């Protein structure tokens, strides 16, 4: 009888132990997970390469660039009218529509873009401004449109040059006169440290020299190399340039090279 009671007690003890949770490092842990909510989306991060992926460019944006560069005024108007794209659409490694139109001399496209809110100073990837590129290619009407729209007349391109200095270098007297009328300073130096008068004199552009002198350019102002405009006129044996500079009051004391 006592043996049967002992066996029963042992069985009850074993059953009680089986119902207890296991202890120690090997114990099983049950974790309840809450359902994923929409508010949790904020903590989901993009893959590390997401920031380097090229942005998607719409077909309308590319069409705007092509139309502006080709002088297709009607397509530009239609794209703007339907709001398929804007006048300042940016495409990686591509110039803005206003720059493309200015470079090609498409005055009507430039006017339409400006009226739609295009930035007159929108640079190309190389840092050239619409005003400088229009001057380089001799597009006088585009220069006027840009200036009337508020383009900064003495704004430098990435290489340090300005529209007036480039006009002087290329002998574009009409554009130089328009730039000066818009407030361009004849004292601004270009990328090589020379102002517009020295650049024009070195290039033998007497018409630009006369335009600059009439606008108050200093005939004795030397460049970064120490040489004044008259030095370069004499060096080139340019009689017309010498006469224009002397008539404007250039000092002649230090220059005695003969002119043929």
Q: Of 56, 66, 61, 107, which Cα lies nearest the Cα of 82?
A: 61
Residues 204 and 252 grouped into a single domain: yes
Whether the Cβ atoms of residue 60 and residue 79 lie closer than 8 Å to each other: yes
Residue with the two structure tokens 């050239």: 128
177 and 205 co-located in one domain: yes
Rounded to whole angstroms, what are the CA distances from 253 to 71, 114, 200, 246? Answer: 54, 51, 22, 11
Rounded distance between C-alpha atoms, residue 128 and residue 31, angstroms: 62
Mean pLDDT to the nearest integer, 180-184: 97
- Residue 87 lies inside a defined structural domain of this protein: yes
Same-domain check for residues 109 and 186: no
Are 75 and 116 within one domain?
A: yes
Report the CATH number at residue 225. 1.25.40.20
Domain termination site, one of 152, 173, 207: 152
Evaluate if residue 89 carries a pLDDT over 60.
Answer: yes
Task: Output the CA torsion sign for 55, 56, 58, 64.
Answer: positive
How far from 227 is each of 73, 161, 197, 251, CA to CA, in Å? 48, 20, 12, 12
- Contact 189/220 with Cβ under 8 angstroms? no
Of 122, 152, 182, the last residue of a domain is 152
Q: Is residue 237 situated within a structural domain?
A: yes
Residue that wins the pLDDT comparison between 121 and 258: 121
pTM of the model: 0.75
Calculate the average pLDDT of the chain: 84
Q: With residue 3 as reference, give the H or E element that holds it.
A: helix 2-19
- The number of domains in the chain is 2
Q: Measure the CA–CA gap between 174 and 144, rounded to whole angstroms.
A: 11
Binned at pLDDT 50, 70 and 90, residue 191 comes out as: confident
Can you tell me the mean pLDDT for 147-175? 95
Q: Stretch 20-45: mean pLDDT, rounded?
A: 48
Question: Would you say residue 33 lies in a domain?
Answer: no
User: 178 and 255: one domain?
Assistant: yes
CA distances (Å), 87 to each of 43, 64, 95, 178, 238, in order?
36, 8, 12, 26, 47
- The whole domain housing 130 covers 57-152
Considering the domain architecture, whether residues 188 and 131 belong to the same structural domain is answered as no
Q: Domain for residue 219, yes or no?
A: yes
Residues 136 and 204 in one domain: no
The pLDDT value given to residue 92: 87
* 101 and 138, same domain (yes or no): yes
One domain for residues 148 and 184: no
Is 167 in the same domain as 91? no
**Cβ of 147: how many Cβ atoms within 10 Å?**
21
């Amino acid at each position: 009888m006592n043996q049967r009671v002992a066996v029963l007690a042992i069985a009850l003890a074993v059953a009680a132990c089986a119902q207890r949770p296991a202890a120690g490092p090997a114990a099983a842990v049950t974790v309840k997970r809450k359902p994923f909510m929409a508010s949790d989306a904020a903590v989901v991060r993009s893959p590390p390469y997401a920031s380097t992926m090229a942005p998607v460019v719409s077909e309308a944006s590319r069409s705007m660039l092509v139309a502006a560069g080709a002088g297709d005024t009607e397509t530009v108007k239609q794209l703007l009218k339907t709001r398929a794209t804007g006048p300042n659409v940016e495409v990686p490694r591509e110039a803005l529509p206003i720059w493309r139109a200015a470079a090609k001399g498409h005055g009507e496209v430039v006017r339409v873009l400006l009226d739609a809110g295009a930035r007159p100073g929108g640079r190309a990837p190389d840092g050239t401004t619409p005003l400088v590129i229009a001057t380089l290619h001799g597009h006088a009407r585009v220069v006027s449109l840009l200036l009337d729209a508020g383009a900064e007349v003495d704004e430098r391109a990435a290489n340090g040059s300005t529209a007036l200095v480039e006009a002087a270098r290329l002998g574009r007297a009409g554009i130089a006169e328009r730039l000066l009328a818009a407030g361009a300073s004849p004292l601004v130096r270009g990328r090589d440290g020379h102002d517009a008068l020295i650049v024009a004199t070195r290039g033998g552009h007497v018409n630009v020299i006369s335009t600059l002198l009439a606008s108050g350019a200093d005939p004795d102002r030397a460049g970064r190399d120490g040489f004044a405009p008259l030095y370069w006129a004499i060096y080139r044996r340019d009689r017309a340039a010498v006469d224009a500079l002397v008539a404007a009051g250039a000092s002649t004391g230090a220059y005695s090279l003969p002119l043929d």
